[in-house]
Amino acid sequence: MFETFLVALNLWTTPVAPAAAPRRLQVDVPVGLDVWQSPDVWSIPVYSAAATDPLQPVLYNEAAWWMVASGQWKRSGNAPAVEAAILRSSSDHFPFPGNVYSSTSPSEWKLPAAFKRVTNPVSGPARFHLRADMLPAPGPDGHMAVRQPDDSVLETYATIVLSTGQVVALSYGLSHLQSAGDGGENGQTASMIPCYLGVTDDSEISAGVIKHAMAITVPASYLSPQVAYPAYAFDRNALTDAHPYAGSLPMGGHLALSPDIDIASLNLATAEGRTIAEAAKTYGFIIVDRGGEGFTIRLRRNSDQPNTALRIWSQPLQSDLNAIFAHLVVLR
């Protein structure tokens, strides 16, 4: 079950505590699920590998984000000549200990004092168990998370999977399911929270129970270059991007429905909306990354039990999400 990814992470599975003086969040932008974007290029694929799956190298390539964003390479299915060019420009060793796009400073690249740094092997590339059918999200960010047999989780950013099964990436991290589930794990998000945490699976919503806080991305216009636990950092270009941070919410901020709200009063029309609302009241939402123009709930890309009611936009579910977000309060 997907939720086993969260079983040991009390941070994500502990019910919210009422804030001393919660403030209402004013949402004036669209809200939705990341899988509603067409084509779906941002949702997070999460896999589990077995000890019998082959050990494959993970190689560093500084152009792994840009060459896909510019249309010259693809996340998978590259022609042999392109794969050869990718390999020629790749290296066994990752030169940076953490994310190249996360920072604790709005004016310089400054990583946290303590976090789980990337450790390169003495010789050769790092190797991990990978299945042949594992594919990253096809967009520029190219996220992919793969649970290893020892309950560690390989997380790659700007991932390219070659026909040989080798993986090329701009950055990677290795977190563990027994960890605190915070940015200290060097997750491949702006917050440094592992990208798979809080990602909701279709099967949870279909079953009517989400037992953890839900990961969301938030527009830059709502974000402030500040950090709230469990985040350890924010976007390195928070104030220099074409759409800079211009709000008050910190990265890692926790939003929720007020504990005293009666969900029946929201008049939600769908079972999916009611399930999300119950989780929003019990566990809330945690901001893990900067998003596009709206507030977006992260849904697992490669669910084993896809729910059409979630994968295809509908006005009833849209109205339910609008109602939920219209009643959120800021806990931190």
pLDDT (tens, 9 = 90+) of the chain, 332 residues, equals 344 454 445 789 999 887 666 789 999 999 999 999 888 899 999 999 999 999 999 999 999 999 999 999 999 999 999 999 999 999 999 999 999 999 999 999 999 999 999 999 999 999 999 999 999 999 999 999 999 999 999 999 999 999 999 999 999 999 998 888 999 999 999 999 999 999 999 999 999 999 999 999 999 999 999 999 999 999 999 999 999 999 999 999 999 998 889 999 999 999 999 999 999 999 999 999 999 999 999 999 999 999 999 999 999 999 999 999 999 999 98
Query: 153 near 177, Cβ under 8 Å?
Result: yes
Q: Residue 57: CB partners within 8 Å, gap ≥ 6?
A: 92, 124, 125, 126, 127, 166, 167
- What is the token pair recorded at 262? 């009666």
pTM: 0.95
Query: 78 near 72, Cβ under 8 Å?
Result: no
Element housing 68 (H / E): helix 66-69
Number of Cβ atoms within 10 Å of the Cβ of 132: 11
Domain regions of the chain by residue span: 2-39+196-330, 46-185
